[in-house]
Amino acid sequence: MVKRKITPERREQRKKLLELLQRAGINDVAGVQELFKEMVSTVLENGLEGELDDELGYSKYDYRNKETDNSRNGYSEKTLKTS
């Protein structure tokens, strides 16, 4: 197997990642999985929020500038099951 050379940038990224895991108190695979689930959740929520802003034409708290009859009508909790 050929070893790849690690670039200084990649080495710095790994160092920052290890620091993040230590600060979060993550020291096993279960902790990494939980962190990953939280990251995916945050990315999806932010993406959907941005998509809604784009669709409606105004941001969450800028309802005075909306130019549509369509509006935000609240949230309900949803569960997403993945493997």
Q: Hey, where are the domains in the chain?
A: 28-59
Residues in the chain, total: 83
Identify the pLDDT of residue 14. Answer: 94
Is this model's pTM higher than 0.85 or not?
no
Alpha carbon dihedral 20, 83, 52, 50, in 10-degree steps, equals 20
Residues of the chain with pLDDT under 50: none
Phi, psi of 28 (to 5 degrees): -145, 175
Q: pLDDT (tens digit, 9 = 90+) per residue, 49-68?
A: 899 888 888 777 776 777 77
- Give CA–CA dist 41/35, Å, rounded: 10
Residue from 9, 41, 71 nearest 33 by CA: 41
Identify the pLDDT of residue 4. Answer: 80
Identify the pLDDT of residue 1. Answer: 67
Residue from 79, 70, 39 nearest 52 by CA: 70
